[in-house]
Amino acid sequence: MQKILIVEDDEKLRKELEIFFTNNGYEVESLKTFDNTIQDILNINSNLILLDINLPGVDGEYICREIRKCSDVPIIIITSKDNEMDELLSINYGADHYITKPFNIQILLAKTASLMRRSNMEKVQDKINAGDFVVNLSNSTIIKNDKKIDLTKNELKILKYLTEQRGKIVSREEIMEYLWDSESFVDDNTLSVNMTRLRNKLEELGLKELIETKRGQGYILK
Amino acid sequence: MQKILIVEDDEKLRKELEIFFTNNGYEVESLKTFDNTIQDILNINSNLILLDINLPGVDGEYICREIRKCSDVPIIIITSKDNEMDELLSINYGADHYITKPFNIQILLAKTASLMRRSNMEKVQDKINAGDFVVNLSNSTIIKNDKKIDLTKNELKILKYLTEQRGKIVSREEIMEYLWDSESFVDDNTLSVNMTRLRNKLEELGLKELIETKRGQGYILK
DNA sequence: TAATAATCTTACATTTTTGTAATAATACAA
DNA sequence: TTGTATTATTACAAAAATGTAAGATTATTA
C-alpha cells in the first residue's frame, strides 16, 4: 500500500486530505507539529509528500532541499500565493509539482497517482533497452527476441559500456580502465580475449558484427 | 545538445517557441505538416516533445498514447481549453505536464529543463541506494562507506531482491524462483548456503544481522 | 523437556570464469 | 608488396563460483 505523508498546518485542509486519500486507497500519515519537521519527515518512510510551503515558523524551501538530499520521494508543494515566482522556485528546489490553494482535489489525486507511478518505475531500472537487444544487469544476461544468453561479469561490463555509448568510438584504454579499475595490471591482450568471447556470444544471438573494431582507435557498437 | 521537438500548428506560436528555445541553448526541430504526425514524431529523436493537443484533423490524445508505446521521452501538452477534464486526461494518457495557452514562457523553460534532467537521470539507474549501503548492479558490488566488496551473481541477486522489498518478509520459495528460474531443480539447502555466503560478506562490511531469518516464513532485510 | 522441522555451517568436488602465452590474422604505411 | 604494429584466436592453467552432502544449530510445539 502506498503511503502519503501530509505536512500541512491548516487543520481543516489536513483532515480533508487525510479522509480523501484514505478513501482512495492510500495509507495516510500527517505531521501536526512542526518543531522538528525535517527529522519527522525523514523518519516517516512515505511514497509521496504533500508539503505546505508556508508552515508557521518553518522555511519550506529549506525543508524541500533537505529532503532531496536524502531521498527521491516525490514532493508536491502546496502554496497559497499564486504568483509565478513561487512556481519557479518550487521547480528549482526539487519539488515535483506544485498546487495553489484552493485546488481541485481530483486533479491532485491524478497528479499524486502519476508521480507515484513514475517514482515506482524508477526504482531500479536494471535493463538497458538497446532497441535490437536488451541487457539485463541484475541477471547478467542479454536477450534478443526470445533467446537469452548468460554473460560473464567481464562480458557484461564491456557490453554495458559500449551500449551506453552506442555510436561512439570507445578506446581500448577506456574499456580496460572500466573493466579493471586500473588497479591490477592486466595484459592488453586480455581485453582482446574478452572481446572475442563477448562477440561469440553476440553471434550466437544473431548479432553479427555488432561490435566493430576501429583499428588504432578502439571499438564501436553499431 | 538537448533537442526539443515542437508539434504546433499555430505558426506564430511555433516560431516564438523555436526562437526562444534556440536562444536558450537547445536544438529545436518542429513539425509543420500533420498528415503523418506519429511517424514524423517517432522519426525525430528528441529529448522532449512539446505537443499541441488540438492539431487540425489529428487526435492529440491518440498521438500521445502512441508515442508512449515506443518511447519514454517527456511530453508537454499544450492546450487552449482551460477546463479540468483536459488536465485529467492529459495526465492519464501519458503526458508529463500540460500548459494552457497563453502561458508564461519562463515557466515553460523551467519545466522543460526539469523534465529533461529527470529523464536523463533515468537512463540507466544501475545502483540501488539503500541508505546505509549501495548495491551496484553492473559491477556486482556492495559499497558501504568507502569499503567495497565483490558479490557473486547469486549473492547479488539475493541482495537485490531483498533490498527491493526491504522491510517485507520474502519467502524462500520466492527467492529460489528468482535465483534459478524454477528451471533446474536445485536443492533447498543450496539457498541456505548462498545465504550464509552473502551474510558473511555483509558482515565484512559491518552490516551485521542485516538479513534476518523469519523461521517458517522467509527472510527480511531490516 | 523432548521431538521435530527448519535453517545453518563446513568441507569438498564440479563447473565456470578468468588471465596468460603462443600463434595467427589483419590493416596500414613505407 | 613487404614490414610492422595492432588486433584476434586458440589452448591451457589458475582462480573463483557454485551445488551437494553430512552434520550442527536453532526455534517451535507437543
Compare CB distances from A88 to B106, B125, B128 and report the shortest one's residue: B106
Distance CA B125, CA A120 (A): 13
The pLDDT confidence band at residue B211, using thresholds 50, 70 and 90, is very high
Comparing B68-72, B147-151, B172-176, which segment has the lowest mean pLDDT? Answer: B68-72
Q: What is the pLDDT of residue A89?
A: 57
Q: What is the CA B198 to C1' C8 distance in angstroms? A: 13
Q: Which residues of A touch B (CB under 8 A)?
A: 45, 84, 87-88, 91-92, 104, 106-107, 110-111, 114, 122-126, 128, 137-140, 153, 156-157, 160, 164
> Are B12 and B108 in a shared domain?
yes
Are A86 and A157 in the same domain? no
Whether a cis peptide bond, with omega within 30° of 0, leads into B56 is no
Of A83, A102, A122, at which residue does a domain stop? Answer: A122
Q: Who's near A15: CB < 8 A, 6+ residues apart?
A: none
Which of B70, B135, B137 is the mutation pick for testing A, counting most A CBs within 10 A?
B137
Q: Are B213 and B134 part of one and the same domain?
A: yes
pLDDT attached to residue B64: 84
Instruction: Indicate the residue of A45, A111, A157 with minimum beta-carbon distance to B138.
Output: A157
Confidence (pLDDT) at A97 = 80
Q: Are residues B117 and B28 in the same domain?
A: yes
* C-alpha distance from A137 to closest chain B C-alpha (Å): 6
- Please tell me the least confidently modeled range out of A120-129, B5-14, B68-77, B130-139: A120-129
Q: Are residues B10 and B62 in the same domain?
A: yes
**Domain that includes residue A73, residue range:** 3-122
CATH of the domain at B83: 3.40.50.2300
Q: Which of B92, B95, B139, B143 is nearest to B115 (CA)?
A: B95
Q: What pLDDT is attached to residue A11?
A: 93
Same domain, B26 and B114: yes
In this predicted model, what pLDDT tens digit does every residue of B34-91 receive, in sequence order? Answer: 988 887 887 677 889 999 988 888 888 788 877 876 567 889 988 876 654 555 555 5
Choose from A5-14, A104-113, A163-172 the range with maximum mean pLDDT: A5-14
Q: Are A134 and A74 in a shared domain?
A: no
**Would you place residue A113 in the very low, low, confident or very high pLDDT band (cuts 50, 70, 90)?**
confident
pLDDT tens figures, B1-25? 678 999 999 999 999 999 999 888 7
Calculate the alpha carbon distances from A146 to A133, A136, A149, B37 in Å: 10, 13, 10, 32
A41: its cell numbers: 519527515
Task: Kindly state whether residues B116 and B143 are assigned to the same domain.
Answer: no
Q: Give A-chain residues touching B164 at CB under 8 angstroms.
A: 123-124
Q: What's the mean per-residue pLDDT of chain B?
A: 82
Q: Specify whether B113 is located in the same domain as B7.
A: yes
Residues 6+ positions from B93 with CB-CB distance below 8 Å: B61, B64, B65, B68
Select from B74, B104, B121 the last residue of a domain.
B121
Please provide the average confidence, as pLDDT, over all residues in chain A: 82
CATH number, position B206? 1.10.10.10
Residue of A89, A136, A137, A161 for testing the chain B interface, max B β-carbons within 10 Å: A137
Q: Domain count for chain A, please give it.
A: 2
Top-confidence residue, A5 or B44 = A5
Strand locations in B42-191 (E)? 48-52, 75-79, 97-100, 127-129, 134-136, 141-144, 147-150, 169-170
Average pLDDT over residues A109-113: 83
User: A61 or A178: whose pLDDT is higher?
Assistant: A178
- Assess whether A133 and A216 both reside in one domain: yes
- Does the structure show a pLDDT above 70 at A70? no
Domain termination residue (choose one: A98, A122, A146): A122
Indicate whether A109 and A28 sit together in one domain: yes
User: Could you identify the residue written with the cell 595490471?
Assistant: A185
The mean pLDDT of A8-25, rounded to a whole number, is 91
Q: What is the pLDDT, as a whole number, of residue B182?
A: 61
Range scoring the smallest mean pLDDT among A168-172, B198-202, B208-212? A168-172
Q: Are residues B117 and B59 in the same domain?
A: yes
Identify whether the C-beta of residue B38 lies closer than 8 Å to the C-beta of residue B63.
Answer: yes
pLDDT at A123 over 60: no
